[in-house]
A and B are shown apart, each in its own frame.
Chain A
Amino acid sequence: QKEVEQNSGPLSVPEGAIASLNCTYSDRVSQSFFWYRQYSGKSPELIMSIYSNGDKEDGRFTAQLNKASQYVSLLIRDSQPSDSATYLCAVRPSDYKLSFGAGTTVTVRA
């Protein structure tokens, strides 16, 4: 079983719509959860981190965490063409090592 799994995509959404990205993880004692955005040919950049159950909002991005279900999600509201990228879910399990999912590619259609 992979440590971090993401819906494979690609995900295509119209401009202005909500993009919903999902991620599940296997290590129940994980404490830190991150979403990175990676544009094609570029390196990952951190866009959201979340540590407690519930929602965390930052601009058009909302991260949701449910530790009981071992599930973390990212919502992108009012999607823009500039949001077209691969979104990587990363989880810090019981040790300090960050584990990444394979990523979900999002395409926002103008």
Chain B
Amino acid sequence: EAGVAQSPRYKIIEKRQSVAFWCNPISGHATLYWYQQILGQGPKLLIQFQNNGVVDDSQLPKDRFSAERLKGVDSTLKIQPAKLEDSAVYLCASSSSTGGETQYFGPGTRLLVL
């Protein structure tokens, strides 16, 4: 069974530029999560999708971050414009249901904002 796929793996941009990350969850997993992990901290949930609907985006900085999961499968997270403090690893995870206990993480995208 293929795991969670993410791309790109690394991205370096300048502040005020925009960037997009892509995630393809494990086949059949209805729930998809985007986390931000700043160096030295645990992952922080940005947004959770159940199929193509948003379940929780309370910690998503909506003035600059957006995410979509149009067909209930893969998802895109966008930052526009980026700030220095957005430098982090962006992790995508999926689980079989909202109450599914095990979240499987992708390899992450490392973003550096200069």
A residues near B, CB below 8 A?
4, 32, 34, 42-46, 49, 88, 90, 92, 95-103
Chain B residues within 8 Å of A32, by CB: 101
Contact (Cβ within 8 A) B43 A46? no
Chain B residues within 8 Å of A44, by CB: 43, 91, 105
Contact (Cβ within 8 A) A88 B42? yes
Contact (Cβ within 8 A) B91 A43? yes
Contact (Cβ within 8 A) B55 A4? no
Contact (Cβ within 8 A) B102 A103? no
Number of B residues near A (Cβ < 8 Å) is: 20
Residue of B40, B55, B98, B107 near A43 (CB, 8 A) is: B107
CA distance A67 to B81 in the complex (A): 43
Chain A residues within 8 Å of B44, by CB: 100
Chain A residues within 8 Å of B56, by CB: 95-97
Residue of B40, B101, B103, B106 near A102 (CB, 8 A) is: B40
Question: Lowest 10 CB-CB distances: which A-B pairs, in order?
Answer: A100-B42, A43-B105, A100-B43, A102-B42, A43-B108, A102-B41, A44-B105, A101-B42, A88-B42, A43-B107
Residue of A43, A96, A103 near B42 (CB, 8 A) is: A103
B residues near A, CB below 8 A?
40-45, 48, 55-56, 91, 98-99, 101-108
**Number of cross-chain contacts by CB at 8 Å:** 43
Chain A residues within 8 Å of B43, by CB: 44, 88, 100
Contact (Cβ within 8 A) A49 B101? yes
Contact (Cβ within 8 A) B107 A96? no
Contact (Cβ within 8 A) B99 A4? no
How near does chain A come to B84, taking the closest CB pair, in angstroms? 21
CA distance A45 to B43 in the complex (A): 12
Chain B residues within 8 Å of A103, by CB: 41-42
Chain A residues within 8 Å of B108, by CB: 43
A96-B55, A101-B42 known; A46 vs B102 contact (CB < 8 Å)? yes
23 sample A-B contacts, Cβ–Cβ < 8 Å, listed by A number: A4-B42, A32-B101, A34-B101, A43-B91, A44-B43, A44-B91, A46-B102, A46-B103, A49-B102, A88-B42, A90-B42, A92-B101, A95-B56, A96-B56, A96-B98, A97-B56, A98-B45, A99-B45, A100-B43, A100-B44, A102-B40, A102-B42, A103-B41
